[in-house]
Structure formats: C-alpha cells, structure tokens
Structure 1
Amino acid sequence: MLELNIKNETSRLRTVVLGSAINNGPTPRPEEAYDPKSLEHILAGTYPLEQDMVNEMDTFNKLLEKYNVTVFRPEMIANYNQIFTRDIGFVIDDIFIKSNILPDRERELDAIQYVIDQIDPKKVVRPPEEVHIEGGDVILWKEYIFIGTYKGSDYKDYITARTNIQGVQYIKELFPNKIIKEFDLVKSKIEARDNALHLDCCFQPVGNDKGIIYKSGFREEADYLFLVNLFGKENLFHITRDEMYTMNSNVFSIDTNVVVSEKNFTRLNNWLRANGFIVEEIPYAEIAKQEGLLRCSTLPLVRD
C-alpha cells in the first residue's frame, strides 16, 4: 500500500510520478494548442522535438534517483502528450484528488491507474463534474492551501482557465481544518507573457519561508500583497515578465534546501544559492515551450 503524505511543497521527497515525453505525438495543429505558448512555438516552427524532451526528462529522472526518490512513470500511450502529470491529480495530506481535466486529456489518468491502485481506495476522490481543479493551481504551505482560480464571467471561454470557484469550494469542504486562500489569476488565450496558466506559473514557495513571485500574474493587487505580508518582501524573489514566460517560478523542491531549476535561470539560481539552497540545474527549456516546467511535470505522492 502506498501511504500518501503531502503537507507542503518542500519537505524531503520520497515518491513522485514524473511525466513522460515518449511517443509524444506529432507537433499539434494550431487549433489543437492548449495554451498560447505552445501556439506561439507551433506557429514559429520551434515546437519542441520529442527526442529533446525525452532527454530532458531522463536527466530529471536520474537526478531524482540520485536523491533516492521512488519514481513512477505513466504507462505509454501512443501519440499522446503525457508530460504534465501535475494537471491530472494531486495529493493533499493523505488524499489523492483526481482532476476533472480537459476531456481530451482523460486518458492521462488511465496511464497512472497502476499507481492509484496501490493507494487505499477510501483515500482517492474524484470531484463532481462541475468542479474544475488542476494540481498546478494547488500549493500547500503550513496550514494554508493556496488555490489559483479565474473569477472572470468569461471563464468558460478560456481554455487557459483551469480551476473554477467550485473547485475552491470543493477543497474547502474536503479540508475544513485548513485555511483556504484563492488567488484570481491573469489569463490570456493569445499572449503567453500575460497568461498565468496555473498558480505555480506566478508563485511558488521554496525552503521553509521563501518564495518566487510574479506580481502581475495576479488580477487583484490585494492577492499579491497577501503573499508579501505572509512571507515578508525580503523573502520573496520577484521575477520579471520574461522570467515568468520562461517559467522561473516553476522549479521543484526535492528537500527544504534542494531545488531543481532550469540551467538558464541565472538570476534566480544565484539568488537561491545566496540564500543557502543547493541548486540542481538541469536543461528543461524545450519542455518549457509547452507552458509547463519542473513542477508541472511532477506529481508528488510522499514527502517526509
């Protein structure tokens, strides 16, 4: 039996599902793009090649194994994008929550069913159909559950709006003892530099008391100020619009002092080292072209 335990983003990682880029399928047609960044690269002819993405994910896998993390990978589905496991489910405490994802992506959940089968069935839940919530919008910190959402009346018109207010309510009811704080995120269907696809695209805690933040990712300044007051401005690394675009806030913690980061994030990586972190730099820039990075491609199951 897999005993799930996820209470935060940064404790020592023991077990994780890492996505896969094998047999990822051909470059999508423009109308098949799920987000503006993928669309940009499809149109520019710079959409990532499968072999490059496989190599990047293999490097990440080897790094996780170096730290003695148990790594599950999805079963292979031919011609299917299975990189971003964070979207399809997430763990809070000892509960595995299946996401109601975009219908085209339903098979991604089937590909990790062999992992879900190792969990006590009483600990696996699936929200009702009207509840939309994806793991990239859910961030755990101490007694808080932070949830990214989109409150615009045009929610249904945005393929980039992944978590609705019903999703926030669902988590409130499931975890009555936690403090739930939702954040209204900026969305764009056409400009990736102005699209916070998930909360972890504009904010993520690192270590015990620090975080990476992009101020303009929040529709309400009050939401941004809430995090500044909670963490303290001196503990937050503020990223630029271009750094948000290259996914600087989407790093991944293996431990409170170990952060996996993209090797090109020079300014961020220097800040992390200056603050006492061990930074494991790996190439992940090809995967980033699909508007997801290290956190997006992981689904942690057990942390100490």
Structure 2
Amino acid sequence: MLKLNVKNETSRLRAVILGTAKSCGDTPKIEDAYDPKSLEHIKAGTYPIEEDMVKEMEAVAAVLEKYNVTVYRPELIEDYNQIFARDIAFVIDDVLVKANILPDREKELDAIQYIIDKIDPKKVIRPPEEAHIEGGDVMVWNDHIFIGTYRGADYSDYIVARTNKAGVDFIAESFPHKTVKSFDLVKSQTEPRDNALHLDCCFQPIGKDKAILHKEGFRDENEFNWLLDFFGKENCFIISKEEMYNMNSNIFSIAEDVIISEKNFTRLNTWLREKGFTVEEVPYAEIAKQEGLLRCSTMPLIRD
C-alpha cells in the first residue's frame, strides 16, 4: 500500500508522479487548443515537438533520481498528451483527490489507475460532477489550502477557467480542519500574458516562509496583498508579466532548500541562490509553450 502524505509544497519529496511526453500526438489544430499560449505557438509554427519535450522531462527525472525520489510515470496512451500530471489529481494530507478535468482528458486518470490501486480506497475521493477543480489551482500549505478560482459570472464561457466555487466548497467540506482561502484569477482565452491558467501560474510557496507572486494574476488586489502580508514582503519574489508568461512561478520543490527551476529563469534563480536554496536547473522552455511547467508536470504523493 502507498501511504500518502502531503502537508505542504516544500517538505522533502519521497514519491511523485511525473508526466510523460512520449507519444504525445501531433501538434493540435487551432480549434483544439486549451489555452492561449499553446494557441500562440500553434499559429506561429513553434509548437514544441515530442523529441525535445521528452528530453526536457528526462532531465527532471534525472534530478529526482539524484535525490532518491521514487518516480512513477503514467501508462502510455498512444498519441495523447500526458505531460501535466498535476491537473488530474492531487494529494492533501493522506487523501488523493481525483480532479474533475476537461472531459477530453479523462483518459489521463485511467493511465495512473495502477498507482491509485495501491492506495487505500477510503483515501481516494472525487468531487461531484458540478464541482470543477484541477491540481494546478490547489496548494496545500500546512494548516491552509490555497485555491485558485474564477468568480466571474461568465465562468462557463472560459475553457481557461478550471476551478469553480463548487470545487472550492468541496475541498472546504472534505477538509474541515484546514483553512481554505480562494483567489480570484485573471483569465484570457486570447492573451497568454493576461491569463493565469491556474494558481501556480501566479503564486507558489517555497522554502519555509517564502513565495513567488505575480500581482497582475489576481483579479482582486486585496487577495494579492493578503498573500504578501501572509508571507511578508521581504520573503516574496515578485515576477513581471513576461516572467509569468514564461512560467517563473511554476517551479518545483524537492525539499525546503532544493528547487528544480528552468535554466533561463536567471533573475529568479539568482534570487533563490542568494536566499540559500540549491537550484537544480533544467531545460524546460519547450514544455512551457503549453502554458505549464515543472509544478504542472509533477504530482507529489509522499513528502516527509
């Protein structure tokens, strides 16, 4: 049996699901793009190719193995994108929550069923159909659960709005001992620099008391300021619109003092090292073209 344990974003990682870029299919058609950044690259003819993305993901696998992390990979579905393991499920404490994702992606859950089968069935839950929630919007931070959402009345018009109020309520009801705090995110189907697809596109806690934040990702400035106060301004690294577009907040912690980051994030990586972090740099710029990065493609199962 797998005994799950995830209390926060940064404790020492022991087991993780890492997505796969193998057999990820052809470049999508314009009408099939899920997000504005993929759309931009499809139109420009710069959409990433499988060979490059496989290399990038293997670089991450190598870092995880270096730190003796047990790495699970999804079973392969032919011609299908299975990179973003974070979207389809997430762990809070010792419970795995199956996400209600875009219906086209249900197969991705089937591909990790062999791992779910190792978990006590009482510790696997799924929200009701009307509750939309994806792992990129959910951050466990000790007593708190931070959740990204979209509170606009036009929620149903946005394919980039992935977590609704019913999803937030479901988590609050399922984990009554936690303080659940939701954040209203800026969404755009057409301009990737104005689209916070998930909470981890504009915020991520790191270390014991620090965070990466992007102010323009929040529809309500008060909610951004709440996070700034919660972590303390001196502990926050504020990223620009361009850095948000390049996914600077979507790095991944192996431990409180070890972070996997993209090698081109010069300003961020310099700051992290100044703050005492070990930064394991990997190439991930091709995968970033699909509006997802390191946190999106990893799904922690066990942290110390």
Q: What's the TM-score, normalizing by structure 2?
A: 1.00
Measure the CA separation in 2 of the matches of 1:226 and 1:142. 17
Confirm whether residue 193 of structure 1 aligns to residue 204 of structure 2: no
| Identity over aligned pairs, percent | 69
Letter of the 1:259 counterpart? I
Confirm whether residue 155 of structure 1 aligns to residue 136 of structure 2: no
Measure the CA separation in 2 of the matches of 1:13 and 1:40. 34
After superposition, residues 205-284 of structure 1 pair within 5 angstroms as 205-284=205-284
Measure how far apart 1:299 and its partner are: 0.5
- Match of 1:91, SS state, is strand
1:62 matched residue in structure 2: 62
1:303 matched residue in structure 2: 303
Measure the CA separation in 1 of the matches of 2:229 and 2:276. 22
Measure the CA separation in 2 of the matches of 1:21 and 1:237. 30
After superposition, residues 90-239 of structure 1 pair within 5 angstroms as 90-239=90-239
Render the CA deviation track for 1:16-36: whole Å, top value 9, x for unaligned.
000000000000000000000
2:287 matched residue in structure 1: 287
Gaps of 5+ in 2: none
Confirm whether residue 28 of structure 1 aligns to residue 45 of structure 2: no
1:88 matched residue in structure 2: 88
Measure the CA separation in 2 of the matches of 1:175 and 1:149. 18
Measure how far apart 1:9 and its partner are: 0.2
Measure the CA separation in 1 of the matches of 2:67 and 2:221. 39
Letter of the 1:54 counterpart? V
After superposition, residues 48-59 of structure 1 pair within 5 angstroms as 48-59=48-59
Letter of the 2:90 counterpart? F
Measure how far apart 1:3 and its partner are: 0.1
Letter of the 1:52 counterpart? D
Measure how far apart 1:142 and its partner are: 2.2
Render the CA deviation track for 1:35-92: whole Å, top value 9, x for unaligned.
0000000000000000000000001001100100000000000010000000000000
Render the CA deviation track for 1:209-252: whole Å, top value 9, x for unaligned.
00100000000001001001111101000000000000000000
- Match of 2:290, SS state, is coil
Render the CA deviation track for 1:181-202: whole Å, top value 9, x for unaligned.
0000000000000000000000
Measure the CA separation in 2 of the matches of 1:101 and 1:140. 19
Letter of the 2:100 counterpart? N
Measure the CA separation in 2 of the matches of 1:58 and 1:175. 35
RMSD: 0.4
Letter of the 2:70 counterpart? T
Measure the CA separation in 2 of the matches of 1:99 and 1:142. 21
Measure the CA separation in 2 of the matches of 1:144 and 1:225. 17
Measure the CA separation in 2 of the matches of 1:171 and 1:139. 11
Measure how far apart 1:130 and its partner are: 0.2
Measure the CA separation in 2 of the matches of 1:142 and 1:172. 14
Measure how far apart 1:168 and its partner are: 0.5
Gaps of 5+ in 1: none
Measure the CA separation in 1 of the matches of 2:74 and 2:169. 30
Render the CA deviation track for 1:2-24: whole Å, top value 9, x for unaligned.
00000000000000000000000
Measure the CA separation in 2 of the matches of 1:112 and 1:140. 21
